[in-house]
A and B are shown apart, each in its own frame.
Chain A
Amino acid sequence: MHTRRDFMQYALNAGFALGAAGLGANVTRALAQQKLTQDDLLNFDAKGQVTLLHFTDVHAQLKPVFFRPPDTNIGVGDYAGVPPHLVGEAFLDYFGIEKGGPLAYAHTMVDYVDLARSYGRLGGLDRTATLVKAIRAERGDDKVLFLDGGDTWQGSYTSLKTNGMDMVECMKLLKPDAMTGHWEFTFGEDRFLELVEAMGYPFLASNIFDAEWDEPAFEHTSYFERGGVKVAVIGQAMPYTPIANPRWMFPQWSFGIRPDVLQANVDAARGEGAEVVVLLSHNGFDVDRKLASVVSGLDVIVTGHTHDATPVALEVDGTLLMSSGSHGKFLGRIDLEVKDGKVSGFSSNLIPVFSDVIAPDPEMAAKIDEVRAPYEDECNRVIGRTDALLYRRGNFNGTWDDLICQGIMEERDTQIALSPGFRWGTTLLPGADITIDDLYTETSMSYPAVYRLEFTGAQLKEIMEDVCDNLFNKDPFLQQGGDMVRVGGFTYACTPEAGMGDRITDMRLTATGEPIEAGKSYTVGGWASVNEGVEGPAIYDLMEDYISRKEVVSLDPDAAAVKVIR
């Protein structure tokens, strides 16, 4: 029987290339060793005095995960067809990645299930800890900055039950130098401040202001001396947190992109003698791409939120953008060479955290066991099994949300279901058991009520257009960074390049094929409403009931709800 190691060896013999641009030199070595090792993953063209490590959007995944990269990730306007808006073979071609190799598996959905069975899970905070410690040992502590891009505390059963404390305790062991965030705020103002206090390193946000007095609500910049270089790190929290998430949970704070404020903070940092200015951002890739062109003086933006993973840092108008993926799959590294107060050279790599190849760090592994211990039995409780590949990520429906929409329609007896376009949520391979852990990676949140309402066809169309504009507006500053709301019970066509109000057409009830009429009322179920006082069962309870009753989940892979018109 083929074992995973055998497959890797085979793939290597077959001449797979480990590296994209930055890793080319590793190929010979990898081939010589005939297998992928921890050392291969750590192999890096070390440079200069400063090493930035970027870790972001782990969404509380302490353990290694499967996470299928999107098959649809459309960019519009000036952002069409450029990274990160490349998927599948186009992505492999652009970055020169061999099909079937480990990087192809880490970055694309091409042959996903087969490769997933061969290469195994990615991530796990204990594996990340091993990499971070190894890099600190190689470079020396005094050269390394470890930055947490946020969306760290939310997204698992244990993070929900401990109100984020499990993540704070584990992350502390990685000794981050600074953090920014987004979903962190959905624990509510008080809890958020408690956890920031507990973590013991700065939470930075240049763009959060007191809602009443319009004064900065947080520290915006931290200064570090690394390798004899003065480095300023400025934080930028998710600018649309009070719009994408319930504002009533943190009413004191107002966000926004605030490029003028950022420019002032960059200038102030330069004034303080910073030779390197880094933006630790939760803006999302396209927002940061635009920001790099309107704000001057940023050397590096380490960017999160949109869960994009690019194998190397990309240069935009003299600023390096590193987008380090999500769910713990990757660790981003950029080395900077600084001469005469300026960045004069760099090298970068997004390290895929292959969990079967990297030895778990014992200290972190023990801490993960400790924080999970009170919940371990419940986490591992099997509630059903899936015959289908269950995943979420992609601009339109994913199979996890198809299942959730079915669950909502059946359990709440509605004609239509809506499921939010979150980019978090992991993947289950066909044949896998569904555990409580798995269910909560898709549903863990602090406003989980499933409402049941009547909407007119006109209201439904308005909601669809509104969300679609937040995804496909040609001005990235008006994009909020989620995917399209997922739908059950009806189908529609979408034209991303069209304007607001004209993108959604041909809305029809799935059951009968009848067009959805503007003046007619339909029963609709949905979850994660940003309104206060929403009533209904929690999505995780509803789905536990539904999956338990089904026992085995199967989905029609061809039942696409959305026709995309390009």
Chain B
Amino acid sequence: MKLTRRNVLGLSVGAAAFTIAGIQARPASAATEATQKSIMDFTGGAEPAAGKVSLTAPEIAENGNTVPVTVSVDSAMEGDDLVASIVVFADGNPNPAVATFHFSEMSGAALATTRIRLAKTQDVIAVAKMKDGSVFMDKKQVKVTIGGCGG
């Protein structure tokens, strides 16, 4: 049997337990500050460095209700070179931490894909925490547009 992504999906879901955080009502005006605070809560106050993390998201969302984002971390996933967890933040969301992924050596690769809802154009930020506590991030702006009128 050919091993397709459909077959593999069941495995990878088992390997990386993930949670989508519930959306809570908070003042939208505090979004950027809220994101910063939320990142600091996750990193324990450390400023994430650039590199290692690679976030893939569309330049323009085809459907803001379900925007595919993929995060991967350059890591051997064994010994000390291990990703502990990744959090995806949507900067325009009242509760910016929208998805958390936990990893172990059993995960095989630090790779996660999910879909998030974005109401308007905003930055999506992925922060990875390594086993040794070091933190890395990547950021992409995703444009959400009304659509139509194309030639």
Contacts and interface: CB of A to CB of B under 8 A. Distances in A.
A528 B148 CA distance: 7
A259 B146 CA distance: 24
Given A240-B60, A256-B58, A477-B59, A245 B150 contact: yes
A472 to B, nearest CB: 13
Contact of A214 (B5, B59, B149): B5
B149 A485 contact: yes
Contact of B68 (A214, A215, A243, A528): A214
Contact of B145 (A255, A256, A470, A481): A470
Interface stretch (A113-121, A356-364, A419-427): A419-427
A129 B56 CA distance: 44
B27 interface: no
A257 B145 contact: no
Nearest to B57: A256
Contacts of A432: none
Contacts of B150: 238, 240-241, 243-245, 420-422, 470, 480-482
Interface in B2-39: 4-6
B59 A481 contact: no
Given A255-B62, A478-B60, A478-B143, A214 B151 contact: no
Most A CB within 10 A of own CB, among B58, B121, B149: B149
Contacts of A424: 151
A31 interface: no
A213 B151 contact: no
Which range contains the number of A residues in contact with the other chain? 35 or more
Given A254-B62, A256-B58, A256-B59, A244 B6 contact: no
Given A254-B62, A478-B143, A530 B5 contact: no
Contacts of B121: 500
A422 B148 contact: no
A215 B56 CA distance: 15
Interface string B107-127: 000000100000001000000
Interface of B: 4-6, 56, 58-60, 62-63, 68, 113, 121, 143, 145-151
Given A243-B148, A421-B150, A422-B150, 9 more contacts: A214-B68, A243-B145, A244-B148, A256-B58, A256-B60, A463-B146, A478-B59, A480-B60, A528-B148
